[in-house]
Structure 1
Amino acid sequence: MKVTLKNKENEEKKVPIGISWTTFFFGPFVPLFRRDWKWFGIMLGVTFVVAAIFIALDIETGGGVVGVAFSFIYNRLYCQDLLKKGWQPATEEDTQLINEKVN
């Protein structure tokens, strides 16, 4: 499911809401491609820390933990950040979806 957001220059972005399957499979590359530098850095840092912990504990099945965790929250965080930066819902339907799923 996606909502459309507009900024002051009347640019539009289709922003996904709900579970991020792309984050599940591709991890920190998703915010990198969206040019979401803040969450790219956070995800990359958390991935390195968790990987170091799993390596230190000699646990082999921990590779996807960060991707799974962020897949449930990243789209919501991305949408919230855009709203804080001044992007607005394009339609009333988008406003309702944001109120139900994001806030």
Structure 2
Amino acid sequence: MQDPFKGFNDDDQNNQNGNGPQGLPLPPNYATVVNADGNMRIAKVGFSWTMLFFPPFPTIFRGDWYNLLCILGIELSVSMLLVMTVNVNQLAQITSVFQPVLGLVWGSLYNMMYFKHLFNRGFVPADDRSRDLLMQAHYWSQPKEK
């Protein structure tokens, strides 16, 4: 099968970016994690553009209900705080500034939140490349020996 990422970032002459499911190549900024049951998750490491432009959909598509409820709870709490403290005439202006700022916050944090939740559920990096990528992004640290 032809590598769809060849030429885009052609520093991978020996397929160092690992193989995904069915032998498909993974983009360089994607990591693979697995749990003891053999369940595999593949996700991007870094900024989430889909959370910036389409806020709740990445959590829904990934079945990440925990982080969806956390994000909705924080947004609801902040919105209630704004409604209680800000004058009604200024609320539309503040909301128009507030929503893009929240989009940047969720875009910056969501992929890290997703991986951290997976690690709490028993997932670990599937290969050395994923482990190195997750450690470089500070999403995962080597477990301490007991």
Q: Which residue of 1 aligns with 2:16?
A: none
- Work out whether residues 28 and 40 of structure 1, in 8 Å CA contact, stay in contact via their aligned partners in 2: yes
Where do 5+ consecutive residues of structure 2 fail to align?
Answer: 1-28, 141-146
Q: Which residue of 1 aligns with 2:67?
A: 39
* Residue type at the aligned position of 1:99: M
* Residue type at the aligned position of 1:63: Q
Secondary structure, counterpart of 1:13 in structure 2: strand
* TM-score of the two chains, using structure 2 as the length reference: 0.62
| 2:115 maps to 1:79 | yes
Relative contact order, CA 8 A, sep 6+: which one is greater? 1
* TM-score of the two chains, using structure 1 as the length reference: 0.84
Q: Which residue of 2 aligns with 1:61?
A: 97
Range with greater deviation from structure 2 (74-83 or 24-33): 24-33
| In 2: Cα distance, 1:28 partner to 1:10 partner | 27
Q: 1:51 to 1:64 in 2, by over 3 A?
A: farther
Range with greater deviation from structure 2 (43-52 or 29-38): 43-52
| In 2: Cα distance, 1:30 partner to 1:48 partner | 18
Q: Which has the higher helix share?
A: 1
| In 2: Cα distance, 1:64 partner to 1:45 partner | 17
| In 2: Cα distance, 1:32 partner to 1:40 partner | 7
Q: Which residue of 1 aligns with 2:34?
A: 6
Q: Which residue of 2 aligns with 1:22?
A: 50
Percent same amino acid at aligned positions?
26
Total equivalences in the alignment: 103
CA shift, 1:22, in A, is 0.7
- Work out whether residues 51 and 63 of structure 1, in 8 Å CA contact, stay in contact via their aligned partners in 2: no
